[in-house]
């Protein structure tokens, strides 16, 4: 494998990853950390998993990981989250908006509470976190990466609110890339089927989805993390793009 020219580029950088205690967020934190970055692991309910991850990473390299708590549904939590990270690190080089709530909202049953939750975590919080992080990202010529979804462009049945929120996040990615250039690059990644929801998914639906994927399998959290690393470290001339990491699903369905 060819070594990237800038393989030490992340050393000393601080990256805030939302929803990073488990699953894809934890893989992003682990891969960026392995590439030399220091990581601020945001969590909401998963305190134990966040602490365990930070402890593991700090054992590998001391003072290289910290945890930060916040409910992304609460505006009052957002700016303090960024300030708390800065108070401990003095800098911020990247913000990865990964946290998300995800569940079906069949038409006729949708509540305002569900709208606020799905739009809050998937669209509103990423925007206001970006805004709060701006002064610090400007200082470091930093990077924003939003984790979108292939279903932001093609609807998943019964997930209209989630899909609309992710579609908004896609547009936000392009809009912020324009507004924040040339100082800050803003990109997105649209995962396909990577991990089934923690709440479970019937096997027959899983099989149907796999059948639609040209590569005939689900992806791994590390596939998303590798794309984050690429956009952050190896793509200085890429901004305003949303990279699909979906085993070809978006061309196959
Ligand atoms: N899994 C997939 O195959 C797939 C496919 C397409 C797109 N994606 C996208 O990829 C990203 C990661 O996916 P995932 O499946 O790993 O995510 P996930 O496990 O469903 O959620 C990630 C984290 O989001 C946090 N979160 C949710 N609501 C929150 C709130 N109100 N405040 C603060 N944190 C909140 C939770 O943190 P706590 O546990 O600490 O509460 C949760 O662990 C998401 O943006 C998702 O939409 C995933």
| CATH number of the 14-247 domain | 3.40.50.720
Give, in order, the Cα–Cα distances in Å from 47 to each of 15, 44, 73, 99, 178: 19, 7, 17, 14, 36
Residues in the chain: 253
Residue whose CB lies within 8 A of the most ligand 1 atoms, among 16, 18, 24, 81, for a mutation test: 24
pLDDT values of the chain reduced to their tens digit, one per residue, 253 residues: 556 667 789 999 999 999 999 999 999 999 999 999 999 999 999 999 999 999 999 999 999 999 999 999 999 999 999 999 999 999 999 999 999 999 999 999 999 999 999 999 999 999 999 999 999 999 999 999 999 999 999 999 999 999 999 999 999 999 999 999 999 999 999 999 999 988 888 899 999 999 999 999 999 999 999 999 999 999 999 999 999 999 999 997 7
Distance 122 CA to ligand 1 centre (A): 9
Ligand 1 contact via 21 beta carbon (within 6 Å): yes
Does ligand 1 come within 6 angstroms of the Cβ of 136? Answer: no
User: Which residues does 95 contact at the CB level (< 8 Å), separation at least 6?
Assistant: 15, 16, 129, 130, 133, 137, 142, 143, 144, 145
Q: Are 145 and 172 in contact (CB under 8 A)?
A: no
Residue 200 has what pLDDT? 85
Q: pTM above the 0.85 mark?
A: yes
Q: Is any ligand 1 atom within 6 A of the Cβ of residue 190?
A: no
| Closest C-alpha to ligand 1, atom 48 | 191
In 3D space, the residue among 145, 129, 23 whose CA is nearest the CA of residue 74 turns out to be 129
162 is catalytic: yes
Probe target for ligand 1 pocket from 21, 44, 113, 217, with the most ligand atoms within 8 Å of CB: 44
């Amino acid at each position: 494998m060819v070594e990237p020219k800038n393989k030490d580029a992340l050393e000393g950088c601080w990256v805030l990853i939302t929803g990073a205690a488990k699953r894809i967020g934890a893989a992003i934190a682990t891969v960026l950390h392995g590439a030399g970055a220091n990581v601020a692991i945001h969590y909401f309910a998963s305190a134990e998993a966040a602490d365990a991850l930070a402890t593991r990473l700090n054992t590998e390299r001391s003072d290289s990981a910290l945890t930060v708590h916040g409910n992304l549904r609460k505006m009052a939590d957002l700016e303090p989250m960024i300030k708390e990270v800065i108070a401990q690190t003095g800098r911020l080089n990247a913000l990865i908006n990964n946290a998300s709530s995800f569940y079906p909202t069949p038409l006729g049953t949708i509540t305002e509470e569900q709208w606020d939750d799905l739009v809050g975590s998937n669209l509103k919080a990423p925007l206001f976190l970006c805004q709060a992080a701006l002064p610090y990202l400007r200082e470091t010529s930093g990077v924003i990466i939003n984790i979108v979804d292939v279903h932001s462009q093609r609807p998943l049945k019964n997930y209209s609110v989630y899909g609309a929120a992710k579609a908004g996040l896609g547009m936000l990615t392009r809009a912020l890339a324009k507004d924040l250039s040339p100082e800050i690059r803003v990109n997105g990644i649209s995962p396909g089927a990577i991990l089934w929801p923690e709440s479970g998914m019937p096997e027959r639906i899983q099989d149907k989805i796999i059948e639609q994927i040209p590569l005939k399998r689900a992806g791994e959290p590390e596939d998303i993390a590798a794309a984050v690393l690429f956009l952050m470290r190896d793509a200085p001339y890429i901004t305003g793009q949303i990279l699909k990491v979906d085993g070809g699903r978006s061309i196959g369905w």
